[in-house]
Homo-oligomer: A and B are copies of this chain.
């Protein structure tokens, strides 16, 4: 049984708490948070505290606080013999504890939606080589997708995720705006959006690229540009189209 103390009481803390509680080989023995109010949801389910000096002895301290508060918390744990793992995608492996680690589930979490952790990739890194297998055991208890990812790789992954998630969502938002302005229900595009995401993850997105830019279909491209009144959207259409043409014009 791996004993865990969770530090923080936000969305990620809550989802991890639920997942570890369901799993057989892990137990969350305590949740710490600076303020009392957010701890309410954990009461009666495990021990809670707002007092750092009353932290229980655990195998792993999981730091689930905001990026800019992580290092302060780890410093307070500098003397523990346990593993101290933060859960952020954009903060490097700390050097402040004795056994530093990263336990980063790559997904967006909101309070409303239930999360199936099995499908969520967990990216691991440890300062001590022998600790990797412990964290791996921990991660595999809740997820089927566990990856060793270094701090340098995690930085790149975070950048890649901006394209894969934030920017793809912005593409949907532009499509929605075009639909709204022309009284077309955005719902018409739902199946296409889902299928595109599915296709890209089953294959390599580069190999399944379609559309006028891929075909270098200048007649359609011109027609589309003429229809775009929004200056931003026009610029974006032009730039992405040219980039796709350049990329697919070259030999793979």
Binding site for B on A (CB under 8 A): 90, 106-108, 119-121, 123, 145, 147, 149, 152-153, 155-179, 181-201, 204-206, 208-214, 220, 223-224, 227-228, 232-233, 235-237, 239-240, 243-244, 246-247
State the majority secondary structure of interface residues on A. helix
A-B contact pairs, 18 of them (CB 8 A): A121-B191, A145-B188, A147-B184, A147-B185, A147-B188, A157-B179, A157-B188, A158-B224, A160-B178, A161-B192, A164-B171, A166-B212, A172-B200, A173-B206, A186-B204, A190-B201, A193-B200, A194-B198
Q: Is the CB of B211 within 8 A of A162?
A: yes
Q: Is the CB of B176 within 8 A of A120?
A: no
Closest chain-B Cβ to A210's Cβ sits at a distance in Å of 6
- Copies of chain A in the complex: 2
CA distance A23 to B172 in the complex (A): 33
Closest chain-B Cβ to A197's Cβ sits at a distance in Å of 4
Chain B residues within an 8 Å CB radius of A240: 167, 170, 236
Closest chain-B Cβ to A176's Cβ sits at a distance in Å of 5
Q: Is the CB of B209 within 8 A of A166?
A: yes
Chain B residues within an 8 Å CB radius of A181: 156
Q: Is the CB of B200 within 8 A of A169?
A: yes
Contact of A174 among B163, B187, B190, B239 (CB under 8 A): B163
Closest chain-B Cβ to A228's Cβ sits at a distance in Å of 7
Q: Is the CB of B153 within 8 A of A182?
A: yes
**Nearest B residue (CB) for A155:** B227
Q: Is the CB of B160 within 8 A of A184?
A: yes
Chain B residues within an 8 Å CB radius of A153: 182-184
CA distance A208 to B165 in the complex (A): 11
Most chain B C-beta atoms within 10 Å of own C-beta, residue among A108, A160, A244: A160
